[in-house]
Structure 1
Amino acid sequence: MPTSIVPSSLPGGTARGHYATIPSPQDPYHYQVGFNNRFASEALPGTLPLGRNTPQRCKYDLFSEQLNGTAFISSRATLQHAWFYRIRPSVVHRPLMKLEKYADLEGNFSSANPKVEYAPFGNVWNDFSLPEESAKVDFVQGLKTVCGHGEATSREGLAIHVYLANTSMTNKAFCNNDGDMMIVPQQGRLDIQTEFGRMMVRPGEIAVIQAGIRFRVSLPDGPIRGYIQEIFGSHYELPELGPIGSNGMALPRDFETPVASFDIDISSWQIVYKLAGQLYTCTQDHTPFDVVAWHGNYAPYKYCLERFINSATVDREQSDPSIYCVLLAKSKVPGVNLTEFLVFTEKWAVTNDTFRPPYYHRNVNTEIMGMVYGEWYGTSHPLEPGGLSYEPALMPHGESIEKWREATTAKLEAQRVSKDSIAFMFHIHPHVAVTEYALKRCPNMYVAPVDMWDNIQGGFLDHLERIDEDLKAAGLPALGLESSLKTNGKHVKGEGEEETTTNGVKIAVENGPK
């Protein structure tokens, strides 16, 4: 059995006087706090060298090793890297071998790939099924790609996966070389051991593990299910606050990064690497989690979504959904984000004379929504915890006519919305392709009724008498169609050249100042 060495003399293994979180029954680990900080953590006092990164000889004969998340010549503001001081360097492993292709894993979303499809129709998936008890499936084996954009080797684009697992990774680690992974648990905690230390991540929290970092996932609560957004070539950032000012949205101090801990283990280990959506494996005769100390800002972290501070309109009108943005990743186009991660938590709705549900819209971004827990208040389609919905870019969507009638006639009072619920959205700028797995091999796909929008009939024609009065008051000719529409099927052509058909009556109107 391995021997785990964790800091004990100081809280979280941090320097004396520094702040670290306090363990809880749900989470037994300490964390350093802050977003994109340059942390320093050591499990054994004095193992971090001072004033240099590569001393001629490290304390206890540890090996120094650097991990880069950005190019060497990146600006100081964007540079991300970390230094490890470990028992053995990462090069100590046997040769790599290519694993058999995972049918449900994709890393290439080119329109030339026959296993993905760009289509203008939306999709909804009910909760994704957990593995059968007889099949032992760990986190890596349970990865399934739903959709994505771009291609991993171009370092531009992203992939959306679900994970479905029922067994812990034992003497096995995973390293994703394609991109940074945002993990959104929906069922069951994930006990994640990384080279930087340990994180316990529950539903209601998210974790980000950057490219090139080795980690393993254990299941303290049994089977797990959740979502992953993987970004190629970019890193997650906090959104700008703009006129919100200094405070609000996701606070930097609420992001938590592991403290150094290490194992002494000389048993056989398997390391699985992902590159371009393909898996490779190698073995080694010791644990990869032997980092005694580290420093830098390229480190995994987690965040509690319940801590998100909502900012919204408190008088009238709706705010854009960007006010719900927790993290974003920039694209190569200035001013355009590759993706934004939005969260919808419990909050007050207080606006007056405002249509409060999401309005009918056609969005330049693709919207992919998931539910962590609770009930979704939308009515155009179901959204179950553990399920997903996909609305492609520029295609129309919105609420049912029943919800519209309710929202346009209700007495508006302050109300608590999203009570005991967390939903989220991956708000993705480019067009997104859906995989063969999601379209053809998912038994949980929701089939919407073909007539779901047939009962939306506009009330405009119920106001023709008032419309004529208003036109006359404005000095404009009346439509004069009220009597004509009473005879269904009678064709009337008004002023103008184009014709439309309503209830069997052809109407053309070209009205304006004469």
Structure 2
Amino acid sequence: MTRSYMPGFGNDFETETLPGSLPQGRNSPQRPAYGLYAEQLSGSPFTAPRGTNERSWLYRIRPSVKHHRRFRAIEMPFWKTAPHSGDHALALGQYRWDPLPMPVEPTDFVAGMRTMTTAGDALGQAGMAAHVYAANVSMTDDHFFNADGEMLVVPQEGRVRFVTEMGVIELAPGEIAVLPRGLTFKVELIDTPARGYVCENYGAKFTLPDRGPIGANCLANPRDFKTPVAWFEEKESPCRLIVKWCGAFHATELDHSPLDVVAWHGNYAPYKYDLATYSPVGAILFDHPDPSIFTVLTAPSGEEGTANIDFVIFPPRWLVAEDTFRPPWYHRNVMSEFMGLIRGQYDAKEKGFVPGGVSLHNMMLAHGPDAFGFDKASRAELKPVKLDHTMAFMFETRFPQMPTRFAAESEALQDDYIDCWTALKKRFNGTMEGDWSD
């Protein structure tokens, strides 16, 4: 990973593994060097405005049409696609899950995908799905691409290596990667087992949010996003390519590796980002800012200011505001929030929400600190405090997130989550001071 990448803003990169394999200037690709084939991978309509037009030219040993032989349908019963609802009896509510158990049988990244929620409509290219993956073996001869959407990967335990047709990305907990729609890759486990979260984005691509009055600095800086250098595999042995297309899965057998891109240039590429490089901003006198101030990436919808998806993190930071309740306050929201915890504790839920866990607070359902968190924050001395050794995140969408049958019937579902607010007592007593006795 050697180059900076600005998601969604039309950067153009070039990289080659063999000298001269990438045509330059008027060097026509009619007969590319090394006997390579020229192929374009487009991530936007041809006529999209220049700032959002995304495509890359790949110079590969074989064109992708050689990868797409006769397909056959295969089953991935735990990977669901929106719209998907009504196949379980779980009632409306706020929900939380313990970490999903690691698999016992050999399970790779694709087979280990478990869909927790779906939202919107993949065929209408709007909405998302939230998944948890748990794997204990690498993908050796299997490869995959997703035609339904791009995939934002958030490891929680174990390092993974994404070997893509445009280069190799190694990813550790605390980092994220975005794999564009249509990109072929396989996943190798550096550490076993491995577990993490995936946001499958059906809509417009993730991009950096506008900073508005914040100005030119802070939040996620473009220089910290990294793209891979070209890498290829010349393997002449049986392989399999799995494709997710309109919610169904298909496979085709190959006699060679599809990861054979020798050189590429363009602006449609996978990238990674280290969440430790995010520079948070917040209140420095009073008032608690909205959680949107922690947005790393956003996938816009057709309505300005209303995201198809926001990827929000809650990183280590200083809390310095005076006379202000510092954890997230109680609220109801038009957005639906899928939260995960990578490490440490989440300040509003210090008990029960553990690394690898999941919570779901759907649109207009009230949520906020548990009774313990509220009492602790209400009585805390208001002085500068460093919130450290933590990293939580949120996949937030304008659409309701529908739990899957797997999520509804999982043994990891916490039946007593709703009880975390039971101890919140009435403190109104008709006086200005209220009743703050135990």
Q: TM-score, with normalisation over the residues of structure 1?
A: 0.80
Matched, 1:401 2:375: no
The 8 Å contact of residues 380 and 398 in structure 1, kept in 2 or not, is answered as no
Contact 1:109 1:148 in 2 (8 A): yes
User: For residues 432-460 of structure 1, what are the alpha-carbon distances to aligned partners after superposition, in whole Å with 9 as ceiling and x for unaligned?
Assistant: 111011001x1111112665444333222
- What is the match of residue 152 of structure 2? 182
Is the 2:371–2:422 Cα contact (8 Å) retained in structure 1? no
SS at match of 1:446: coil
Which residue is equivalent to 2:389? 420
Distance 1:460 1:53, change over 3 A: farther
Cα distance 1:203–1:402, how it changes in 2: closer, same or farther (>3 A)? closer
Q: Relative to structure 1, is the Cα distance of residues 119 and 79 closer, same or farther in structure 2, using a 3 angstrom cutoff?
A: farther
Distance apart, 1:94 and its partner CA: 5.9
Q: 2:115 aligns with which of 145, 159, 162?
A: 145
Verify: 1:41 aligned to 2:15, yes or no. yes
Could you tell me whether the CA contact under 8 Å between 1:182 and 1:206 is conserved in 2? yes
What do the CA deviations read for 1:230-279 (whole angstroms, capped 9, x no partner)?
11131000000111111100110000100001122111110000112211
1:191 and 2:140 correspond: no
- SS at 1:217 equivalent: strand
Q: 2:402 maps to which residue?
A: 433
**Deviation of 1:99 (Å):** 3.4
Which residue of 105, 108, 114 corresponds with 2:79? 105
Q: What is the Cα deviation at residue 400 of structure 1?
A: 2.9
2:303 to 306, 314, 333: 333
Partner of 1:115: 87
In 1, Cα distance between equivalents of 2:189 and 2:158:
7
Q: Is the 8 A contact 2:282 2:289 kept in 1?
A: yes
Does 2:41 align with 1:32?
A: no
Asked if 1 retains the 8 angstrom alpha-carbon contact of 2:5 and 2:271, the reply is no
| Alpha-carbon separation, structure 1, partners of 2:264 and 2:253 | 24
Contact 1:171 1:269 in 2 (8 A): yes
SS in 2 for 1:403: helix
Moved more, 284-293 or 370-379: 370-379
Task: Look up the match of 2:229.
Answer: 259
Higher Cα Rg, which structure: 1
**Residue type of the alignment partner of 1:437:** F
Percentage identity across paired residues of the two chains: 39
Residue 102 of structure 1: how far off its partner (Å): 2.0
8 Å contact kept, 2:43–2:54: yes
Partner residue of 1:70 out of 35, 44, 56: 44
State the AA in 2 paired with 1:215.
F
Query: Which of 59, 63, 77 in structure 2 is aligned with 1:85?
Result: 59
Q: Which position in structure 2 is the counterpart of 1:302?
A: 272
Change in Cα spacing, 1:382 to 1:84, as seen in structure 2 (3 Å) is same
State the alpha-carbon separation in 1 of the partners of residues 5 and 313 from structure 2: 20
**1:367 — aligned with what?**
337
CA contact (8 A) 2:126 2:203 kept: yes
Indicate if the aligned counterparts of 1:96 and 1:280 stay in contact, CA closer than 8 A: no
| Matching residue's letter, 2:393 | F
- The whole-number CA distance in structure 1 between the counterparts of 2:372 and 2:255 is 63
* Deviation (angstroms), 1:118: 8.9
Determine the C-alpha separation between the residues in 1 that align with 2:91 and 2:396: 17
Which whole-Å CA distance do the structure 1 matches of 2:219 and 2:400 have between them? 27
Q: Is 1:323 aligned to residue 293 of structure 2?
A: yes
Alignment partner, residue 480 of structure 1 = none
TM-superposed deviation, 1:172: 1.3
Gaps spanning 5+ residues in structure 1: where? 1-29, 468-514
**What is the distance in 2 between the residues matched to 1:54 and 1:282?**
33
Range with greater deviation from structure 2 (452-461 or 166-175): 452-461
Q: Does 1:56 align with 2:30?
A: yes
CA contact (8 A) 1:184 1:226 kept: yes
Superimposed CA distance per residue, residues 267-325 of structure 1 (whole angstroms, 9 cap, x where no aligned partner): 11100001122110011111111111100110000000011001111111111111100
1:130: which partner in 2? 102
Indicate conservation of the 8 Å contact 2:46/2:53, yes or no. yes
The reply on whether 1:202 has 2:172 as its aligned counterpart is yes
Structure 1: distance between partners of 2:345 and 2:375: 21
Higher relative contact order (CA 8 A, sep 6+): 2
Contact 1:192/1:215 (CA < 8 Å) preserved in 2?
Answer: yes
Q: Secondary structure at the match of 2:378?
A: helix
Contact 1:381 1:448 in 2 (8 A): no
Q: Look up the match of 2:415.
A: 447
Counterpart check, 1:272 vs 2:262: no
Residue 456 of structure 1 corresponds to which residue in structure 2? 424
Is the 2:3–2:227 contact (alpha carbons within 8 Å) kept by the matching residues of 1? Answer: yes
Runs of 5+ consecutive residues of structure 2 not aligned to the other structure? none
Distance, in Å, in 2 between the alignment partners of 1:371 and 1:379 is 11
Q: What is the TM-score with the length of structure 2 in the denominator?
A: 0.94
- Residue 229 of structure 1 aligns with which residue? 199
Residue identity matched to 1:368:
F
Shift, 1:401, TM fit: 3.5
Paired residue total:
431
